[in-house]
Structure 1
Amino acid sequence: MRIFCRLSNWYFSKGALPYWGVLFLDCLIALFSGYVGSYLEHGGLEFAQHFWQLTAGNIVCMLLFAVAFRMFHTYSGILRFSSLVDLERVGLASFVGVVMSYIVGIVQNALGGVNCIIMHSLFGSVVMFVCASMLLWVERMFVRALFDIFKVDKALPVAIYGTMEGGVSLANSILTTKEKKYVLQAFISDGYDMRKAYILGKKVFINKKGIAELMRNQHVKVLLVSPLKSEAFRENQAMIDEFVQAGIKIMMMPTAEEWDGKSDLTYNHLHEIEIEDLLPREKIEVDMNAIGAMLRGKRVLITGAAGSIGSEMVRQVAVYKPAELTLIDQAETPMHSVRLTMARQFADVKNETIVGSITDKAFMEKIFEDHRPEYVFHAAAYKHVPMMEDNPAMAVRNNVNGTRVIADLAVKYGTKKFVMISTDKAVNPTNVMGCSKRICEIYCQSLNQAIVDGRVKGVTQFVTTRFGNVLGSNGSVIPIFKELIRKGGPLTVTHPDIIRYFMLIPEACKLVLEAGTMGKGGEIFVFDMGKPVKIVDLARRMISLSGAKNIEIKFTGLRDGEKLYEELLSTKENTIPTQNRKIMVAKVREYDYEEAKKNEDELLQISYTHDDMAIVKKMKEIVPEYKSQVSKYQVLDK
């Protein structure tokens, strides 16, 4: 037994026998099959009397079988991967070997006088063929089964969350694949009626508190989440925390749409989860037909086209085949990436990538004059709170004045709709960046009303969209945490109670497009951002997912202008629903256009003094609800 174990370990550590080893085993089987044929043909007594003569004949048969094995390359395949094709080749080789042996026997009998070798008759040849074929097949099936048994220790034990089509399809992929990467241990179901059920011979466990510990007792190392259970899994934060804390790896699809429900689902469709995959979010549904009708065949201009939101807007708008895309950003290298993306993915869409600042009025006017955009999506802005807190003059010139330049040109050149992308930080702003975006909202809304009232000549409808943090955007917290984890920590969190709303960039852009289609002008659309996430919990979960040990979380205190929580509406505002339950219209205080324009003129002039206090003081006059937090500008609120 010890010798067998050593040989097995040697074989499985090598991964495969050498070709000569397989040929040697096959020849031994052919020799043994010859003995079986001889025994059944001659009987026990004659077999014993002519043993050595029969042995000589069977050796000749074995050599002829070796020739047949060479003809069909039966020994060149890896035994553990034997298939029906391999078994067919083995059968043909056995047949050819037996036929050659039978012909040699006939020749021997015809020559006569050769008594040292006794070859097989027709009966003996048939017995030899059947025996050899069966044993060669058994050899390959046995090695394959033995390999699976010995390799199971290296396969990761898994449980599958989901017992419907998706879960069963995953299980079948594990059970039928040649490469034993995983071994199925259990299923997990939310249905209490499955408490005594077995699927494919594996027990179904009911999902309840302590399920991760139950899976640990089953030696489970990986949880595979069926795509049909992805949304339920994300919503069950307690379950996620259990598995993360238990050290069980989680694999899932980002969205159920990645599997069409018709093709075979395998574990290769799944990937190890990132923190983004675990944040609770609902499926975003938009009216694709309405968006397509608005944009197809139209001239579209996008500012900030190289940014996180802007570049995604480019991709989503290009899908609808606009007549022309005019893309503007002042960041040269990211803009080059956008140009390459358009060339690779949307070569059939006419587009122009332009490097320039939205504050350059003369250049922007030339662009509007040349391209006459029918729709403008305005995503360009300085957005980082600490940077703008230190540079209020730049926040005014880029965010406030830049928006005014693009808005005024849109009116002048007959743009049908202007969609401005704002932020939740514009609600009861506590920092320069948020206040600058609120001033942009005020200008666009008041300009829209002036057009409606006939005080400004134009046809442009101004629509504003507000939402919170987007996952994966430049400078967002998740990439920063990932980098800090790679460096071994510590993870810096400003406050233990700070919370934020998160949304995926593609989801946010879909809502922007739909808000643009439903907006009639003057609305500020607010997106339902789902459930807020505590940043310290996010940090802890990312540390657990990384598998890193002893990474510290350090609280650094709120940064200048930072809130503990972001608001999507001010206390003086309310909302009315739209046909999309994820989009609402905020009812906000209205401003007179002439007053808004006068305020912006004064604010722009003050920005050229670079007197931070004077700039922020004027901003607070324009937006009275702007109250600074953790900032040098707090003195202005007294």
Structure 2
Amino acid sequence: MITYRILVKYFFLYIKNLKLDRKRIIIYGAGQSGVAAKRTFDNDYKVNKRIVAFVDDDQRKVGKTIDGIEILDAKDLPDLIRKKELDEIIFACYSMPIERKNKIVDLCLENDTRVLSIPSHNEWPSGKLQPTQIQKINIEDLLNRKSIEIDIKNIQKELEGKRILITGAAGSIGSEIVRQLLKFDTGLIIMCDQSETALHHLYLEVDEMHTEANFHSFIGDVKDERRMAYLFETYKPHYVYHAAAYKHVPLMEDNASEAVKTNVYGTKLIADLSVKYGVQKFVMISTDKAVNPTNVMGASKRIAEIYVQSLNKSIENKEFIFKNGLSYFNDIRSNTRFITTRFGNVLGSNGSVIPRFKQQIEKGGPITVTHPEITRYFMTIPEACRLVLEAGCMGKGGEIYIFDMGKSVKIIDLAKRMIRLAGLIPNQDVKIEFTGLRPGEKLFEELLNDNENTMPTHHEKIMIGKTREYLFEEVEIQIHDLIKHARNNDNLQVVKIMKQLVLEFKSNNSVFEELDLIKSILTN
């Protein structure tokens, strides 16, 4: 019976190998994943592929064979690609430097070699690789960088047994913070969001993880004072991660009052309640668009930064002067520490350019890019959230932590690579059209303005930005006035006050540019 089974297997392999139009494939990585990929193809008779070789960087493996397939030196791979002796390459190696991986992928795309990848072992159903999991490489895989290491022990020590509130928990950043927190022995995770459906999906996801962590979903809007006061009164959180915000630049340019209500007043309300109910640490999620802002969204986030920083300074100096704010601060001795984290675009977030490009490619194009020279910084969502947790734990209060975003990426180059990865030719199969900068949009994002500099921390990917200090009493009065006009939906007056608060706020491609012109005339 054993002989019969072996003969049948080799008979079908022989019939399969008779096909003349087989695709020639090299597997990069002669480890467990590479061997699993090879045997997956061997056992799937519908697959018309032939593994011609493995390649590997490990010189100890070079020259040996696996199931009769030779292992070649990875240094020889570029020559094989240039000679067009390959149809496909499968990446089954997870430790390769991203720079090297990018060079190989670009070389493959230039020579019409298809690029595939295999997910890590923990994503294999029942520990077995499935043929459907060997798929085209994603653009996210090429923008990822070396995995960021964080101080797990210190974070665990800080968060152990703590009640932790995440606002905007159903969003891209908020939901990932929740997932990261589930790895720690926290007391209670309170997931707060105003979006019922998104929060319900997050609850189901967390529930299906069969985690021992305690968690609770709380529907509420950060602008709703009574609802948020009830939240703090009921759960009395020790830590707050404030991720709730409006972030779409063109929408906020058209709805300036709403940007202020959520991004400024919402932040102020949660910060004030944190002081009242004795929260230990308040970690605010900010953005690189708050630096030299050219739009309402960025300016609103910068004002939120200014408020929490000046509030932190006021607490340090024991100065609770709230003439126009919430009166319950009188005689309170709070030790709440406010920490801000600032980073750029995150891959795969709601509204990110990459999901949009994918949709446009699937429809056959065109891909729309606002400007041929526009660039952006990118970071993965898990990477950003790991740094948020690290920065939150190391923060002593009043810092703005700036993350190392790596090199900025030209969006037109990103679009072309995504088209090529889909097996298509830019401007032939899928056209690229330039639509012009959107209201408030700028060509280059910055992590620091001209008057700021950074100090290093013990983590190479996290720096402390040294920013201008503001007097809390003055800030509180201006923000109170700003919120009053926002509630009256007086967008022009709202933006005018924002420009008084954030002196470096200069509108770009926006109806509010007239305010800068008037200011310039009056100054001169």
TM-score class, shorter-chain normalisation, is 0.7 to 0.9
Instruction: Give the alignment of 1:429-444 within 5 angstroms.
Output: 429-444=293-308
- 148-157 vs 628-637, greater mean Cα deviation: 148-157
Answering whether residue 12 of structure 2 is matched by residue 147 of structure 1, we say yes
TM alignment of 1:131-170, pairs within 5 A:
144-152=9-17, 153=19, 156-162=23-29, 165=31, 169=35
How far 1:358 sits from its partner (Å)? 0.6
Q: Give the aligned partner of residue 70 of structure 2.
A: 202
Report the CA distance between 1:403 and its aligned residue: 0.2
Gaps of 5+ in 1: 1-84, 88-136
Q: 1:238 aligns with which of 100, 103, 114?
A: 103
- Which of 449, 474, 482 is equivalent to 2:358? 482
Q: 2:473 aligns with which of 586, 594, 604?
A: 594
Once the two structures are TM-superposed, the CA of residue 180 in structure 1 deviates from its matched residue by 7.7
Which secondary structure does the structure 1 equivalent of 2:301 belong to?
helix
Q: Out of 226, 234, 240, which is 2:92 matched to?
A: 226
* CA deviations over 1:289-333 (Å, ceiling 9, x no partner): 111112221111110011111111112112213222222111111
2:382 is equivalent to residue 502 of structure 1:
no
Is the 8 Å Cα contact of residues 233 and 239 (structure 1) preserved in structure 2? no
SS at match of 1:632: coil
Instruction: Provide the C-alpha distance between the structure 1 equivalents of 2:231 and 2:74, rounded to a whole number of angstroms.
Output: 62
- AA aligned to 1:494 is T
Matched, 1:569 2:438: no
Which residue in the other structure is 1:553 paired with? 432
Change (3 A) 1:150 1:331: same
Give the drift of 1:387. 0.4
How far residue 227 of structure 1 moved from its aligned partner, in angstroms, is 2.2
- The verdict on how the C-alpha distance between 1:384 and 1:178 changes in structure 2, with shifts beyond 3 A counting, is closer
RMSD over aligned CA atoms reads 2.7
**Separation of aligned partners in 1, 2:172 and 2:500:** 32
Displacement of 1:602: 1.0
Q: 2:39 aligns with which of 173, 178, 188?
A: 173
TM-score by length of 1: 0.72
> Identity over aligned residues, as a percent?
46
Provide closer, same or farther for how the CA distance between residues 142 and 321 of structure 1 changes in structure 2, counting only shifts above 3 A: closer
Q: Deviations over 1:536-562 (max 9, x none)?
A: 111111111222452100001111111
Question: For 2:62 and 2:232, how far apart are their aligned partners in 1?
Answer: 69
Aligned to 1:76: none
Q: 2:204 aligns with which of 335, 340, 358?
A: 340
CA contact (8 A) 1:173 1:266 kept: no
- Report the alpha carbon displacement of residue 233 of structure 1 after superposing the two structures with TM: 4.7
2:142 aligned residue:
278
Higher RCO, 1 or 2 (CA under 8 Å, sep at least 6)? 2
Provide the C-alpha distance between the structure 2 equivalents of 1:178 and 1:546, rounded to a whole number of angstroms: 24
Q: Aligned partners of 1:346, 1:170: CA distance in 2, in Å?
A: 29
- Counterpart of 1:628 in structure 2 is 507
Structure 1 residues 556 and 233 mapped into 2: Cα distance closer, same or farther (>3 Å)? same
Change (3 A) 1:543 1:295: same
The alpha-carbon distance between structure 1 residues 169 and 210, as it changes in their structure 2 partners (threshold 3 A), is: closer
- Residue 235 of structure 1, CA deviation: 4.5
Matching residue's letter, 2:478: N
Higher alpha-carbon Rg: 1
When structure 1 is superposed on structure 2, of 308-317 and 421-430 the one drifting more is: 308-317
Contact 2:116 / 2:134 at 8 angstroms: preserved in 1?
yes
Say which SS state the counterpart of residue 97 (structure 2) adopts: helix
- Equivalents in 1 of 2:134, 2:387: separation in Å? 27
Question: Which structure has greater helix proportion?
Answer: 1
CA 624–490 in structure 1, closer or farther in 2 if over 3 Å, else same: same
Question: What is the alpha-carbon distance in structure 1 between the residues aligned to residue 39 and residue 186 of structure 2?
Answer: 42
SS of structure 1 residue aligned to 2:350: coil
Q: How many residues align?
A: 495
The SS at the match of 2:165 is: strand
**Within 2, Cα distance between the matches of 1:584 and 1:627?**
26
Tell me what 2:84 maps to.
Answer: 216
Report which stretch shifted further, 334-343 or 234-243. Answer: 234-243
Deviation at 1:513, TM superposition (A): 0.5
TM-score, length-scaled by structure 2: 0.87
8 Å contact 2:161–2:187 — kept in the other structure? Answer: yes
CA contact (8 A) 1:169 1:265 kept: no
Unpaired runs of at least 5, structure 2: 321-332, 518-524
From 127, 138, 163, give the equivalent of 1:299.
163
